[in-house]
Amino acid sequence: MKVDEMRAASAADLATKLDEAYQELFNLRFQQATGKLANPSRFAVVRKEIAQIKTILRERELAGK
């Protein structure tokens, strides 16, 4: 999901995407611990996605005040 699409999404959609990203990060960590991680660069992508979503949610929170 691109940043423009994230900004157009509702807060509920972003919250869902955030939960999914955290779940994927957990799964990646589990795969790494068991030695079955196929793509270690996915860590950075998922962490960046989490940061982008949290930033957009925070911007909306500050704009509402």
Q: What is the pLDDT of residue 24?
A: 97
| Encoded tokens for 65 | 């005040």
Tokens 């911007």 correspond to 59
Residues of the chain short of pLDDT 70, as ranges, are: none
Structural contact between residues 13 and 53, judged by C-beta atoms closer than 8 angstroms:
no
Tell me the C-alpha distance between 12 and 18, whole Å: 10
Whether pTM > 0.75 for this model: the answer is yes
Tokens 């509920």 correspond to 12
Q: What is the pLDDT of residue 64?
A: 87
Q: What is the pLDDT of residue 51?
A: 97
| Encoded tokens for 14 | 């972003």
Residues 17, 19, 23, 28, CA torsion sign: positive
